[in-house]
Amino acid sequence: MAVTAGSKVLNNVEAVRETLYEAMKSDDRTIILGEDVGARGNVFLITKDFINEFGPERVIDTPIAEASIVGIAVGMAMEGLRPIAEIQFADFIYPAFNQIVGEAAKTRYRSNGEYTCPLVIRTPYGGGVRGALSHSVSIEALFYHVPGLKIVAPAFPADVKGLLNAAIDDPDPVLFLEHKKTYRLIKGEVPEGHYTIPIGKANVIKEGRQLTVVSYGLYVHWALEAANQLENEGMSVEVIDLRSIRPMDRTTILNSVEKTRKLLIIHEDNKFGGIGAEISAMVAEEALFSLDAPIRRLAAPDVPAMGYAEPLEHEYMSSPAQMADAMRELVKF
Partner 1 sequence: MATTITMPQLGETVTEGTVAQWLKKVGDTVEKYEPFLEVSTDKVNAEVPAPVTGVIKEVLVKEGDTVPIGTAIAVIEEVGAATGTAPAAQAPSTPESMAASANEEPVPGFNIPQLPTKPAAASSGNGHARTGNGVIPSSYGAPGGLDTAGAEDALRKASPAVRKLARENNLDIRAIRGTGTNGRVTADDVLTAAAMGPAAAVGQAIATGTNFGATPPPAFAPAAPPSAPPASGTSTYGEPIPGTVIPLTQARRIIAERMVESKHTAPHAWSMVSIDVTNVWKWRAREKDRFERETGYKLTLLPFFIRAVVESISAFPLMNAKFTAEGIYVNKDVNIGVAIGLPTNLVVPVIKNADKLSIKGLAIAGGELIDKARRNKLGVDDLAGGTFTVNNNGANGSWASAPIINGGQAGIVTMETVEKKLLVRDDDSFAPCYVMNSCLSLDHRVVDGYVASGFLADLKKRLEKMGPDGAL
Q: Which residues contact 78 (CB under 8 A, 6 or more apart)?
A: 107, 115, 116, 117
* Beta strands 187-191 and 244-246, pairing class: unpaired
Q: What radius of gyration, in Å, describes the C-alpha atoms of the chain? A: 20
Q: Which is nearer to partner 1, 116 or 236 (CB)?
A: 236
Candidate list 2, 112, 288, 302; residue touching partner 1; CB under 8 A = 288
Give, to the nearest 10 degrees, the angle between helix 320-332 and helix 218-232: 50
Q: Which is nearer to partner 1, 32 or 295 (CB)?
A: 295
CB under 8 A: which stretch of 55-63, 103-111, 289-297, 306-314 binds partner 1?
A: 289-297
Candidate list 289, 301, 302, 310; residue touching partner 1; CB under 8 A = 289
Candidate list 292, 308, 320, 325; residue touching partner 1; CB under 8 A = 292
Contact 327, 237 (CB under 8 A): yes
Which residues carry out catalysis?
135
Determine if 291 is a binding residue for partner 1 (CB under 8 A).
Answer: yes
Candidate list 165, 229, 290, 322; residue touching partner 1; CB under 8 A = 290
Site for partner 1 in 56-85 (CB under 8 A): none
Neighbouring C-beta atoms of residue 61, cutoff 10 Å: 15
The DSSP H or E segment spanning 296 is: strand 296-300
Q: Which is nearer to partner 1, 1 or 289 (CB)?
A: 289
Contact 273, 244 (CB under 8 A): no
Site string for partner 1, 173-202 (x = CB under 8 A): ------------------------------
Contact 238, 213 (CB under 8 A): yes
Q: Which is nearer to partner 1, 61 or 292 (CB)?
A: 292
Site string for partner 1, 238-277 (x = CB under 8 A): -----------------------x----------------
Q: What is the DSSP letter of 256?
A: H
Count the residues of the shown chain that bind partner 1, applying the rule CB under 8 A.
Answer: 10
Distance, CA of 308 to CA of 86 (rounded, Å):
25
Q: Which of 133, 114, 213 is CA-nearest to residue 171? A: 114
Q: Which chain residues interact with partner 1 by CB under 8 A? A: 261, 288-293, 329, 332-333
